[in-house]
Structures are given as C-alpha cells and as structure tokens.
C-alpha cells in the first residue's frame, strides 16, 4: 500500500496497529487521512477482515466521508465494516440484543421534540410547577443523569436533583418503556448495560471488533468511554484520535479527562502527535498556539506549517454591534462583489445566537446571501415531522407520542376532551392509545368520538396493508392521499401552501432516493429509514448550500474550515462568557473555543470587539476580551508592545477583570502585524432619525441610484422599498440600509 502521501508522523500512526494508541491530532493536521489509511492498511497489509473493524465517529457526515475514502483506497469491503456514529452503532447492537432488557426489537428512537412532548404530559400528570420544571429543564437534567450512568434512584442518592426531577425521570422512563421507545441517551446507556450484565453479549462483540478506532475522542462522555473500554478489553487494539485543545462540549457531557488520562487507562499506550497543519497560514497558527498555550490542562503540542507568512490578522474595535456588523458586511461585499472571493468563502462566527440578528440585518441590507446554521433544519419542519410520526405509528403501534401528534392532523374533528378521555381509558388498562381504540365499546366514549377514533385506526390498518403490494415510497404517497394531507395544507391559510407542499415533495423524493439505495429484500426499509431520520444531525446538511455566507456559533463551526473567518464579539463577559470568567475549568474551555474559532480560518482572520453592545434588549459597556490581550504575544519581537498590566486573576474584583484596551494595542505599534482599519470611509447605518418618503431619489452603495416607492412602518422600524435605475426592486430596513438621500 502506498503511504508516500503521508508525513512521517501520519505514517507512524497508520503503521502502529497493535495495542492502544493515542493520536493527538491538532487542527487541520490530516486526522481523517490517518484514520482512513489506517483502516485500509489493516485490511490490505495486515490481512484483517473488514468485519473485525469498528470505526466510531460523532456525525453521520464524518462517518460517510470515512466510508467513502476507505472505499476509494480499497475498492471493496467497505460494507462489511462498522463505520458509523456511536448512536448508530448502539442502535444496531440493540436491534439484535435489546430483548434481553425487556424491549422489543421494533423500538423507536425519540428525538428532542418527542421528548418534550412526553415530558409535557408527565409534568401535568405529576402536577409539577410548570414555571419551575419545564420540559427543556427536565430533559436536560435527565440527560445529565444518563451521561453519568445514573438511574433515577442513584441520581437522587448522589444529591444531584430534587425529588420532583427524580419523579419525572422515573415516570419518563416508564412511559418510554410502555411506548417501546428509547431516547438518544438510552441508545448508549442500554448498550453499556448489556455489556455489563450479559457476558455472552460482551464476548460476542469483543470477539467481533478486534480493531477499534474512535474519532474525536475528546468529545466522548462517561458512557461512551465505558463502552469503548469494554469492547477493547481483550484485544486492546484501540486507536483513539482527538485533540484536547478542541474539547468544547463539556456542557453536554463530554469529559476531557478521557483523552488526558488515556495512558493511565490503557497502560503501555503509544502516543503520536500530529502537529503539521495543512489548513492555515503561519500567521493564523501562531495566534492559535499563543492563545491555547495559556491553558494548563492540556497535552503539549504546537501547530506548524510549511505555508510561511500569510495575511496579517485584522483587529477592529467597533463603537457598537451595529458598527461591527456594518464593517463585516462591507468586507464581505468588497471581496465577493468587487473582488475575487465567493460568498461561501466567508464564515461569521459568534459566541451566542443572540449576536446573529444584527449581523443578519446588515447582510440583508447589502443583499448578501447567507445561511444561519443551527436554525430549523429540514427534518424539523412540521410537515416532515407529521409524515414521520405516521410512519413511526405504522412501524410501532405502541408509539403514543406519534399518535398524539397526528390524531388530528389533518383535522378530524377530534377535540382535546375526546383525546383526554381516550388517554384515561388507555391508562386504566395500561394499553397504548392505538390498541385502546380497538377495545372501545358503547358507553366508553361519546359515539361521535368513538367513530372518529375507529376510522383513524382503520385508515392506518389500510395503509399498513399496502406494504405487501407497494414499494415504500408508494405507500407513503398512498398515505398522504388517503389522509388528505395536501388538502389540509391548502386549507391552512396561516402559512404559505406552495412552500409547505414543496417540503412534502422534497421529503417523498428523499424517501425514494433512500429506498433506491437499499436492498429491500434484505432490510426492513421502514425501520432503516426511521432510524436514519432519527440519527440525522443538523450539521450533516451544512455543505448543501453554495454561494452563501455561513453564520454560526463557534460550537457549530468545529470540524469546518473557510478561507476567511470573522470572529466577532470578543469582549469579556461575552467571550469568554460571564459564567466562565471566575471558574478556571470553564475559562479553559472558553479558550479552547477561541482556539477552534481561530483555526477555522485558512487564509484571512478578522477579529472584532465593540465598546458597547446591546444584548437581550440592554445596552452595556464592553471591554476587549482577555483573549485579545493574550494575542499580543503572537507578534514579532520588533512589534511587541511595551510592558503592561497582565490579565487579572480569578480573585480580582469585576471592575478590574478586563485586561487591557484594544486602543493600547494600536498605540504600541501592533498595527504592523495586526491591521486595525478605520471605518471613516465606510458606509454607515442610516441615522435613526432619517425619514423617507415615496418619490425621493436615493443612492445605495451596491445598487446605485433609485426612487423610493413605499415606506411601511415608522421611524427606526420602517421598511423602505426602492426601485433602482438598473431595474432592481429591493426592500431595506431603514435603520440599517446604507442609503443616501440625494439632494434636488
């Protein structure tokens, strides 16, 4: 096998096949190349059977990319390997083994919306204070317990939660069991239970997986750690790849100790550092190295590149968030509309979603196409959720959450009172709702309600019978026809029918594509499809859009890269967050987040802060982030500023905890390495007191001269419609548009 494309350290990681191995892969160091070549090397050079290899990732996108690359190296055998996410791997194991835990193999997987729906019912049933114990809060606490491998009673004993949360946890698990359903945390937890409680199951999979590879090991939680350790306990051929400097998911259960203590957990482990970066310029890497070096809990490594030099980092201190957003829009406009950049070369990264709104408004004003990641994904659309709920009910008649979603979609004249009566009837008999309908007799419910419920059940039965004579996509189309879903969409005047109908068409098309790729004779296509939808992550669809500026939180940006990156909102209290400033562990995670943001940039990095910022409706003074202060050390010796105040320690009072102003950076000669450009010549947001009237002649930076057609709203909230002389008609938010009123 030709390994000449690998550098020395990459090759060493590929060829070290026996025993535990920790590959510390810095950002942009080619870890995917190492993983894929290692798998191919095991098969081609070491003679390992593909079915003895398990490769675990955290996203479907990463798993798909890995399979594709291994396939291109080998040409065949990829289908015999388990290359998948942790959750997909556990779901596959449970399909074979879950009956030993008292569940049926036809279990369904509840997503976040399903969890919230079920917890709403539990809150009502337990008469909990809905203002204190919200579905979101309860699901977070339950997930926290499961990530620590704690059942409800253990959760209470350990003192982690009040008795109300524990009661909700117990009721939640009971309801899941009754519905033959699992949540995402259960997929992991139940596999761990199987491996701990059933030696024959452990032996089966331990014998099967003789070589295990784990990507992004720094993101593993306690349960994932135990699963991996159990499976690797016999052969010990475990290769984990990760970067402790990119451990940023502590808030959702990831435990950085798993990677920091790998050598302790697996004695005799080899450690290989991948430090050569193939993504970013030397200037960007120097900045990243300097920032992350301030963390104490890390394994020492330093990124380097053969790409010497690079464009200077651009540092800008804005007057406020509007000035910051305006400048970002201008820089994008200059590069994409008047330069040689594409819109999709740019990414705007921020600490919180709240920062995106003002930036969006300016991008819209300049007519810059963009996409915000982390919003409503395709699979979260109501139309898709409706169809999926029907399919889940067809697969698992005990799925009460799916039943409640669609019982009146389309509307069948079944009111909440009738649904509540059916729930009480089913609860008294400990039956799922759909099963309970079959037991209804005269007097159990009002006649009209009973007939409507029965008709619903008969419709489902009719659709279910079609699986024997129609293909899966044709069954779905038949379902939509018999329930009258299109007419339902047309009758709903609140939303755009065409857009919603297009969503349905797109989803049916997706079902056909999925089915065409499956062997229906060997696979339960319905179960496979529902599992695929449930395991689909929002980031999996990130690369579908082209020609748009990417906007996302720093957490969403991990694993991505862009030619140009704007890292904005670098102020103490915002980034790092106020909650982390006085807690060393949290502050180190915030610094790792900054490191991740910096290393997303390939060629150009923009950093910005604001003197004041409006967040959540309140204007507050701001001071530059301590991370900017740390970046001064990234400068060459001749450009270093004079000695100054060091960042204040944890014990400092709040008013002293902000470090040095960006102004001092400029005054000490920093601009020779970090360009701080003035915005005097840039278009500004329109003054708040500017008014527009129909017939006015105006000028826009991008579209030229035009005439105001209409003004809707008043003062700062008004929307201005302009007919430009070039034939374009555009609408702008008056307070943000770079519009100049022309003199007569």
Known catalytic membership, residue 32: yes
Residue 46: strand, helix, or coil: coil
Rounded to whole angstroms, the Cα distance separating 539 from 611 reads: 33
Rounded to whole angstroms, the Cα distance separating 595 from 303 reads: 12
Given a contact cutoff of 8 angstroms between Cβ atoms, the answer to whether 404 and 568 are in contact is no
Given a contact cutoff of 8 angstroms between Cβ atoms, the answer to whether 593 and 555 are in contact is yes
Which DSSP helix (H) or strand (E) runs through 353?
none
Active-site choice (224, 246, 355, 364): 246
Residue 57: strand, helix, or coil: strand
Active-site choice (331, 500, 600, 626): 600
Task: Determine if the peptide bond prior to 410 is cis (ω within 30°).
Answer: yes
Residue 91: strand, helix, or coil: helix
Instruction: Indicate the angle between helix axes 525-535 and 86-97, nearest 10 degrees.
Output: 150
Pairing mode, strands 181-183 and 739-741 = unpaired
Short-list 377, 370, 406, CA closest to 391 = 406
Given a contact cutoff of 8 angstroms between Cβ atoms, the answer to whether 85 and 63 are in contact is yes
For residue 315, the cross-strand partners are 607
Short-list 155, 144, 110, 156, CA closest to 254 = 144
Rounded to whole angstroms, the Cα distance separating 120 from 5 reads: 55
Active-site choice (186, 215, 244, 344): 215
Given a contact cutoff of 8 angstroms between Cβ atoms, the answer to whether 562 and 601 are in contact is yes
Rounded to whole angstroms, the Cα distance separating 212 from 579 reads: 38
Short-list 233, 311, 396, CA closest to 674 = 311
Active-site choice (114, 185, 216, 588): 216
Q: Which two tokens stand for residue 684?
A: 């500004």
Known catalytic membership, residue 600: yes
CA of 511: how far to CAs of 389, 402, 404, 460, 507, in Å?
A: 15, 19, 24, 19, 6
Q: Which residues lie below 8 Å from residue 184, measured CB to CB, with a gap of 6+? A: 87, 109, 111
Q: Which two tokens stand for residue 503?
A: 């969503």
Known catalytic membership, residue 681: no
Active-site choice (9, 10, 31, 281): 31
Known catalytic membership, residue 216: yes
Short-list 187, 547, 553, 576, CA closest to 356 = 553
Known catalytic membership, residue 264: no
Torsion sign, CA atoms 477, 481, 485, 491: positive
Short-list 342, 357, 348, CA closest to 607 = 348
For residue 272, the cross-strand partners are 23
Q: Which two tokens stand for residue 343?
A: 């819109």
Known catalytic membership, residue 439: no
Residue 727: strand, helix, or coil: coil
Active-site choice (32, 459, 612, 675): 32
Active site residues: 31-32, 215-216, 246, 600
């Amino acid at each position: 096998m030709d390994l000449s494309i690998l550098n020395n350290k990459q090759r060493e990681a590929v060829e070290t096949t026996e025993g535990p191995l920790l590959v510390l892969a810095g950002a942009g160091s080619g870890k995917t190349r190492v993983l894929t070549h290692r798998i191919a090397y095991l098969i081609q050079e070491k003679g390992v059977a593909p079915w003895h290899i398990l490769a675990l990732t955290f996203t479907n996108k990463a798993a798909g990319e890995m399979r594709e690359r291994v396939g291109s190296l080998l040409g065949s055998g990829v289908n015999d390997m388990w290359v998948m996410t942790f959750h997909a791997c556990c779901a596959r194991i449970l399909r074979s083994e879950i009956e030993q835990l008292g569940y049926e193999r036809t279990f369904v997987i509840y997503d976040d919306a399903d969890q919230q729906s079920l917890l709403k019912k539990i809150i009502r049933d337990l008469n909990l204070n809905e203002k204190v114990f919200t579905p979101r809060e309860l699901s977070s606490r339950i997930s926290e317990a499961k990530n620590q491998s704690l059942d409800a009673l253990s959760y209470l004993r350990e003192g982690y939660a009040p008795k109300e949360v524990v009661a909700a946890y117990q009721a939640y698990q009971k309801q899941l069991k009754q519905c033959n359903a699992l949540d995402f945390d259960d997929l992991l937890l139940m596999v761990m239970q199987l491996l701990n409680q059933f030696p024959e199951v452990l032996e089966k999979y331990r014998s099967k997986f003789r070589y295990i590879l784990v990507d992004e090991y720094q993101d593993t939680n306690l349960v994932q750690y135990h699963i991996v350790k159990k499976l690797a306990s016999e052969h010990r051929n475990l290769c984990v790849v990760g970067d402790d400097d990119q451990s940023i998911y502590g808030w959702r259960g990831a435990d950085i100790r798993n990677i920091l203590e790998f050598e302790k957990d697996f004695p005799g482990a080899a450690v290989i550092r991948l430090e050569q970066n193939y993504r970013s310029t030397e200037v960007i890497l120097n900045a990243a190295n300097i920032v992350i070096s301030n963390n104490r809990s890390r394994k020492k490594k330093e990124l380097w590149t053969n790409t010497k030099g690079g464009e200077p980092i651009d540092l800008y201190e804005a007057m406020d968030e509007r000035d910051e957003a305006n400048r970002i829009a201008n820089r994008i406009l200059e590069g994409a509309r008047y330069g040689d950049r594409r819109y999709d070369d740019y990414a705007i990264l921020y600490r919180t979603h709240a920062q995106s709104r003002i930036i969006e408004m300016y991008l819209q004003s300049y007519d810059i196409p963009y996409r915000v990641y982390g919003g409503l994904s395709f699979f979260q659309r109501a139309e898709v959720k409706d169809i999926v709920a029907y399919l889940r009910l067809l697969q698992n008649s005990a799925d009460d959450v799916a039943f409640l979603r669609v019982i009146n979609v389309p509307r069948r004249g079944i009111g909440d009172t009738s649904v509540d009566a059916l729930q009480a009837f089913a609860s008294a008999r400990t039956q799922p709702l759909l099963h309970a309908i079959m037991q209804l007799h005269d007097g159990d419910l009002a006649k009209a309600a009973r007939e409507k419920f029965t008709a619903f059940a008969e419709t489902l039965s009719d659709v279910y019978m079609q699986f024997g004579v129609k293909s899966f996509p044709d069954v779905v189309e038949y379902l939509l026809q018999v329930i009258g879903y299109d007419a339902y969409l047309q009758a709903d005047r609140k939303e755009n029918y065409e857009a919603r109908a297009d969503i349905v068409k797109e989803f049916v098309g997706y079902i056909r594509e999925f089915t065409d790729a499956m062997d229906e004779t060997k696979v339960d296509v319905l179960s496979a499809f529902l599992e695929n939808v449930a395991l689909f992550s929002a980031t999996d669809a990130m690369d579908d859009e082209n020609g748009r500026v990417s906007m996302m939180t720093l957490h969403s940006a991990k694993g991505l890269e862009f030619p140009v990156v704007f890292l904005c909102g670098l102020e103490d209290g915002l980034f790092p967050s106020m909650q982390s400033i006085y807690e060393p562990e949290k502050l180190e995670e915030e610094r790792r987040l900054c490191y991740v943001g910096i290393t997303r940039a390939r060629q150009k990095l923009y950093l910005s802060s604001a003197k004041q910022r409006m967040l959540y409706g309140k204007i507050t003074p701001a001071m530059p982030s301590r991370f900017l202060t740390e970046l001064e050390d990234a400068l060459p010796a001749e450009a270093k500023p004079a000695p100054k105040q060091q960042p204040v320690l944890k014990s400092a009072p709040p008013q002293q905890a902000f470090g040095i102003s960006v102004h001092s950076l400029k005054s000490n000669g920093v601009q020779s390495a970090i360009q701080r450009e003035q915005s005097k010549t840039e278009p500004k947001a329109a003054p708040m007191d500017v008014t527009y009237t129909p017939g006015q002649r105006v000028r826009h930076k991008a579209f030229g001269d035009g005439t105001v057609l209409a003004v809707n709203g008043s003062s700062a909230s008004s929307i201005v419609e302009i007919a430009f002389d070039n034939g374009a008609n555009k609408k702008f938010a008056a307070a943000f548009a770079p519009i100049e009123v022309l003199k007569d």
